[in-house]
Amino acid sequence: MKKLILMVGISLTCLETITAQQSVVTDTTANNHSVLKDSIPLTGAKPEPSTVKLPHGADSRFRCSAAGLIIPSAMVTYGFIALNNPSLRDLNRSTKSELSEDHPRFNTGIDNVLQYTPTAAVYVLNLAGIHGKHNLRDRTIILGISAVITAGTTRILKTSTHEERPDGSNNLSFPSGHTSNAFMGAEFLYQEYKDVSPWIGVAGYAVATATGALRMLNNRHWLSDVVAGAGIGILGTKAAYWMYPFVQRKLFPGKKDMVVLPYYNAEWKSMGLSLSLTKF
């Protein structure tokens, strides 16, 4: 039963984040009857100053409630404390033991795919005609920034904490990279589609939670690894949305056709920025 309580707890935490954020979003349906389309600039009446969802995200300001930041920050803090706290380390071991007893031969590779599913859903939904907040260019830049932040933070922590995995395969357990990727994508999906339907974000968070649970069932991560990874992924995407207007306006004023794409190479453990002069 402990694993069920754990999975429900993580889901409720993420749903609380969604609910808290949803309460501060201004309703845009009354002033926005047209649907955003990829790569086609919108013209017409100027949106109201309080509108969050603007054409192509050109002037959208990221807004987040205190709970939207406190909850993922608390998750990361929990993971750090668990590295040295005897009680939390005992909880890690007891959770591992119960999962092993209930599913002794469990082994699956589906978590390798699930970690990218929420991110892929953003592009699939757009292809299906359900358009989100930003166009192809803008959302890809935001995704690139969040990927650099999330993957870079995860890699640095893995190599500096030297936490041994439950299966003893190496010392790169903390935090869970699969989980951070999944929750990064879940928050990305939520931010793009919260004005369409909050349930799209709920589905993304459900997939991300399943990814974290599978990492524990596969005996690849401790409970605290998964909790911390979830918090890092959420915060990485929030930071990307906050940074995006600065990247576009402050660093490259007037460069309307310049695209900045951050990248992270997991194989070579390198990151950077790529520039392209492309018209959209």
The domain in which residue 192 lies consists of 2-24+60-251
pLDDT of 52 > 50? The answer is no
pLDDT of residue 263: 60
**Average pLDDT, integer, range 179-197:** 97
* Best CA proximity match to 79, nearest among 181, 187, 173: 173
Q: How far apart are CA 98 and CA 125, in angstroms?
A: 38
Please give the residue that has the higher pLDDT: either 233 or 30: 233
Confidence (pLDDT) at 68: 86
Residue 147 placed within a domain = yes
Q: Is the dihedral of CA 144, 147, 151, 153 positive or negative?
A: positive
Q: Which residue do the tokens 């460069």 mark?
A: 255
Say what the pLDDT of residue 262 is: 62
Reported confidence tier of residue 161, pLDDT bands at 50, 70, 90: very high
Residue 256 lies in a domain: no
**What does the pLDDT read at residue 127?**
95
More confident: 7 or 167: 167
Number of structural domains the chain divides into = 1
Q: CA-to-CA distance for 266 and 278, rounded, in angstroms?
A: 26
* pLDDT for residue 35: 37
